[in-house]
């Protein structure tokens, strides 16, 4: 039993919290690009942190249920209908056997997260079902491939007691130009004061070449210092290659990098970046590490990690 995928959209991927503990072997963590939207989708259904769900890029998805359950959708603004009747985003609702759920294409934002009560079921690979297409790991069939028409997303029947939605004050605004908070560090001391100021002073445009591996930024190039060896990198790292156009590493990033690192984007702001369409401008502002640590502790306590 489960949900039959009739239309998969441009790119739909089974994800969980990510594949951790293998980066020393060069294995990317993967996982959702917008951690907050994914966490809310699972919380609406009382699912534990990291319960497998589907990351839907741009929309255009149609499913038919083969069982009675509850689902939740959070993320990009799009039209959603259940047997032709409109359903609100950032909410949970009942899905009965035989009903069809249709998602239109995103009007703002880029990615939505579809969760089901109890989570979607798939065999774990290296401790995770997270889909990493570049490395051919995870996903519904364990081969790293995106979901395709005809796939059956296994899940169990479930009952709940009423609809629920995310309070409006917690729903992000994806239409506005985001201001992303950055912790300076890494090789920041090797950049001149003028170059660091220029990074924060100018708007940066998101390149169409961005993907789940990294968000590539376009603007007045920075002068990057030389780096003579590679080091481990993490999600949110801001690499500055020789062309001076920064790259913010995302969930499918490599595990080692040789480009100088200017700092790290706040983990809770990476979702805003992942929701930006190509050519959207973004700006950066400094934040202290202590402030980020406090916010992350609060975030993980709330979502039960």
Residue 172: what pLDDT? 93
Contacts of residue 143, defined as CB under 8 A and 6 or more positions apart, other chains included, come to 136
How do residues 143-189 score in pLDDT, each as one tens digit? 999 999 999 999 999 887 788 899 999 999 999 899 999 999 999 98
Pairing of the two strands 281-286 and 247-249? unpaired
Residue found under tokens 């973004």: 282
Query: pTM of the full predicted structure?
Result: 0.94
Tell me the β-bridge partners of 85. 82
Residue 163: what pLDDT? 84
CB atoms within 10 A of CB 126: 14
Residue 1: what pLDDT? 82
| C-alpha pair distances (Å), 83 with each of 80, 86, 95, 117 | 10, 8, 10, 20
Low-confidence stretches of the chain (pLDDT < 50) are none
Residue in 128, 302, 275, 286 with CA at minimum distance from that of residue 201:
286
Q: Which domains does the chain have, with CATH numbers?
A: 2-170 (no CATH), 179-303 (2.40.100.10)
Residue 221: what pLDDT? 96
């Amino acid at each position: 039993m489960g949900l039959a995928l009739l239309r998969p959209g441009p790119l739909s991927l089974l994800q969980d919290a990510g594949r951790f503990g293998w980066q020393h072997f060069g294995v990317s963590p993967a996982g959702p690009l917008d951690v907050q939207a994914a966490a809310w989708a699972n919380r609406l259904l009382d699912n534990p942190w990291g319960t497998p769900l589907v990351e839907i890029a741009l929309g255009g998805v149609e499913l038919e249920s083969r069982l009675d359950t509850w689902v939740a959708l959070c993320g990009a603004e799009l039209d959603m209908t259940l047997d032709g009747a409109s359903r609100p985003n950032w909410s949970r609702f009942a899905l009965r056997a035989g009903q069809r759920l249709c998602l239109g294409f995103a009007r703002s934002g880029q990615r939505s997260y579809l969760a089901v009560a109890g989570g979607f079921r798939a065999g774990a690979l290296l401790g995770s079902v997270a889909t990493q297409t570049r490395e051919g790991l995870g996903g519904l069939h364990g081969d790293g491939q995106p979901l395709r028409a005809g796939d059956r997303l296994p899940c169990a029947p479930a009952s709940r007691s009423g609809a629920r939605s995310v309070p409006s004050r917690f729903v992000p605004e994806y239409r506005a130009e985001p201001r992303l908070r950055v912790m300076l560090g890494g090789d920041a001391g090797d950049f001149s004061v003028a170059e660091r100021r220029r990074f924060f002073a100018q708007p940066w445009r998101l390149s169409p070449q961005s993907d789940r591996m990294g968000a590539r930024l376009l603007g007045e190039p920075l002068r990057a210092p030389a780096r003579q060896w590679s080091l481990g990198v993490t999600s949110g790292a801001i690499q500055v290659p020789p062309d001076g156009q920064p790259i913010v590493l995302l969930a499918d990033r490599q595990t080692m990098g040789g480009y100088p690192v200017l700092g790290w984007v706040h983990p809770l702001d990476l979702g805003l970046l992942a929701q930006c369409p190509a050519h959207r401008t973004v700006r950066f502002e400094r934040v202290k590490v202590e402030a980020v640590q406090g916010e992350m502790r609060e975030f993980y306590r709330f979502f039960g990690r």
